[in-house]
Chains A and B, each alone.
Chain A
Amino acid sequence: MSANADSMVRVFERPRSLTDAQFSYCPGCHHGLVARIIAQTIDELGIQDRAVIVAPVGCAVSMYEWFRCDGIQAAHGRACAVATGIKRVRPNLIVFTYQGDGDLAAIGTAESIHAANRGENIAVIFINNQIYGMTGGQMAPTTLIGQWATSCPGGRNVQLAGYPIRFAEMIAQLDAPVYVTRQALYDQKRIMATSRAIKKAFQCQVEGKGYSLVEILTNCPTNWRMSPVESNSHLMNEVVKTFPLGDLVDRG
């Protein structure tokens, strides 16, 4: 039986919240997946006309150009402070930050912790790929012990550079956050779980519950010097040993 094109049901399409602009990510990079999941979440919650993107410095610097939503570009590390300023004066907006590991857990540590501790009613999407991508593969606060990076050519040495920071666990120590979770994107099951987590974080904000952090373990095939497939295996087999997956706080 041949399918009649007119009767075909569309089961998958580009989220309406995305513009036609092309992402600027490398092939195989997980960043694009996260952008798509966020756009789909915005569609599903019907908040395109209320959402405000706080874009970081780095590979996602111009991500506001990909969404049919208002957006702002924050200085490196300052996204949570910028989001705080927006949300406090326009509480009806749905404000989220999108930040890498250097942004959130190194240069922006203070802003990130204190926004969480004040229980700002925002969602923080934390892209943990264990490396500085845009600047060419330097060591991140989340770089694994022994992992090679351009600024730790012998591999991360804990005596010189300390240990990978488990940021979600730090935030989970605070009283204010309503939802703190760590997710990954290395297989279909994980992608679906990440989608549910991002939706839950946005839902918490829509309902006025407070601060959410979704940490997502992602890859960087370019700077890890791996194929996309190898990078997924590395996440699944190695990275999760340092950064265990799952919900840490769920008061939502």
Chain B
Amino acid sequence: MGKVLMTGNEAMAEAAICAGCRAYFGYPITPQNEILEYMAAHMSAVGGAFIQAESEVAAINMCYGASAAGVRTMTSSSGPGISLKMEGISYLAAADLPCVIVNVARGGPGLGNIAPSQGDYFQATKGGGHGDYRMIVVGPATIAEAIELVMLAFDLADKYRTPVMVLSDGMLGQMMEPVTLPEHVALASLPDKPWALTGAKGRGPNAVTSFAMDPADLSRINTEREGRYRQIEEKEVRYRETYASDSTIIIAAYGTVARIARTTVRIARSEGIKLGLLEPITLWPFPYGPLRELSRRVSTVLTVEMSAGQMVEDVRLAVADRAQTPFYGELGGLVPTPKDILREVKRYVS
């Protein structure tokens, strides 16, 4: 298939269908409406379920039901709607249910605005819902990468029986790019789900639950899940390094800001500044190890975000005092330009 011109939102929806998603439940909120609309138009053609739910709370709980029934399931929303989904995400994690949640992040807190933002990093990576749980979070920088990561999100969700969030933003969701769409995966090739609710025929009953009254039981269940989280931290860290070997200063950025920072690096290199870039692709698990290694060889790791400084806390955990770790952020839906970032870089170039 040749290239097609699509918005990020449409591309993420199509990628989900390609990945075998056969249940989508959502509620309108800008800037992610095109995902809902794309699913409304295309899900029935592949025999999948689509409902415009009465709320984001209902949508995530429909996901909880459909996922429990063994079907690849997705919902999407933005800031305020993602907050409403947090109850359901905690239950999905606790019931060991796979599910993909796309957050096309907008300005916050509160109603904020509909401009792109990275202010939901804490909520996504540190557990916005209640209780001890983790959620795999991936942060695409381009539409092509968003397609790849949506496909990956479904595989990781099934493999580890966990919700996975695709943390994009209003810029990525609304922009159009020419992309190559992947082949549809064969549903028969997807992993078996012997735990799913399919009717207790020829087997004992299956129960999907997050409830364990006895503290010893809940402790055992949670400890088993923590073991899976440790495996994820060990095996699923993804990141991209640019000019890592000879840089004296490194930008740490993800998503839309990482893409902008690639241009900053090009400009800086043309001016003789030894600037590199580290882009976390998985935000949880965060690439602490690679960043720690990198920090031994540079003087500065500059974190750039469209937030007041959220990922920078993970960067500082990784770098500790091996390098200086300044922060540059834009707030309120403002997007930094390559030159804005270069200006900040030059403050730390001797």
A54 to B62, CA, bound (A): 12
A114 to B211, CA, bound (A): 26
Q: Which of A43-51, A142-150, A232-240 contacts B (4 or more CB under 8 A)?
A: A43-51
Look across to chain A and name the residue whose beta carbon is closest to the beta carbon of B206. Answer: A70
CB-CB under 8 A from A114, the residues of chain B are 53-54, 58
Look across to chain A and name the residue whose beta carbon is closest to the beta carbon of B90. Answer: A75
Instruction: With both chains docked as a complex, state the minimum distance between the C-beta of A159 and any C-beta of chain B, in angstroms.
Output: 30
Instruction: With both chains docked as a complex, state the minimum distance between the C-beta of A80 and any C-beta of chain B, in angstroms.
Output: 8
Instruction: With both chains docked as a complex, state the minimum distance between the C-beta of B98 and any C-beta of chain A, in angstroms.
Output: 13
A52 to B73, CA, bound (A): 19
CB-CB under 8 A from A82, the residues of chain B are 61-62, 64-65, 68
Does A93 sit within 8 A of B, measured CB to CB? yes
Does B51 sit within 8 A of A, measured CB to CB? yes
Those of A62-91 within 8 Å (CB) of chain B = 62, 64-65, 67-75, 78, 81-90
- Given the interface contacts A84-B65, A89-B66, A114-B54, does A65 sit within 8 Å of B207 by beta carbon? yes
Does A110 sit within 8 A of B, measured CB to CB? yes
A88 to B52, CA, bound (A): 13
Does A151 sit within 8 A of B, measured CB to CB? no
Q: Report, as a range, how many residues of chain A touch the other chain.
A: 35 or more
CB-CB under 8 A from A81, the residues of chain B are 53, 57-59, 61-62, 64-65
Query: Which one of A54, A62, A75 has the highest number of Cβ atoms from chain B below 10 Å of its Cβ?
Result: A75
B207–A70 CB distance below 8 A: yes
The secondary-structure label for the interface of chain A is: mixed
Does B49 sit within 8 A of A, measured CB to CB? yes
Q: Which of B141-149, B192-200, B316-324 contacts A (4 or more CB under 8 A)?
A: B192-200
Interface digits, B11-30 against A, CB 8 Å rule (1 contact, 0 not)? 00000000000110100000
Look across to chain B and name the residue whose beta carbon is closest to the beta carbon of A68. Answer: B205
CB-CB under 8 A from A70, the residues of chain B are 197-200, 205-207
A85–B205 CB distance below 8 A: no
CB-CB under 8 A from A90, the residues of chain B are 69-71, 197-199
Look across to chain B and name the residue whose beta carbon is closest to the beta carbon of A70. Answer: B197
Instruction: With both chains docked as a complex, state the minimum distance between the C-beta of B32 and any C-beta of chain A, in angstroms.
Output: 20
Does B55 sit within 8 A of A, measured CB to CB? yes
A78–B57 CB distance below 8 A: yes
Those of A125-177 within 8 Å (CB) of chain B = none
- Given the interface contacts A52-B197, A75-B61, A81-B58, does A61 sit within 8 Å of B211 by beta carbon? yes
A51 to B95, CA, bound (A): 20
CB-CB under 8 A from A84, the residues of chain B are 51, 58, 62, 65
Does B63 sit within 8 A of A, measured CB to CB? yes
Those of B74-106 within 8 Å (CB) of chain A = 87-88, 91, 95
Look across to chain A and name the residue whose beta carbon is closest to the beta carbon of B212. Answer: A62
Contact of A111 among B61, B200, B204 (CB under 8 A): B61
CB-CB under 8 A from B199, the residues of chain A are 49-52, 70, 90, 92-93
Q: 3 nearest interchain CB pairs?
A: A85-B65, A81-B61, A49-B201
**Beyond the given A74-B61, A110-B58, could you list 9 further A-B residue pairs with CB under 8 A, ordered by the A residue number?**
A52-B197, A52-B199, A54-B65, A67-B205, A69-B205, A82-B68, A84-B65, A85-B23, A114-B58
Interface residues of chain A, those whose CB is within 8 Å of chain B, are 48-52, 54-55, 61-62, 64-65, 67-75, 78, 81-90, 92-93, 110-111, 113-114, 118
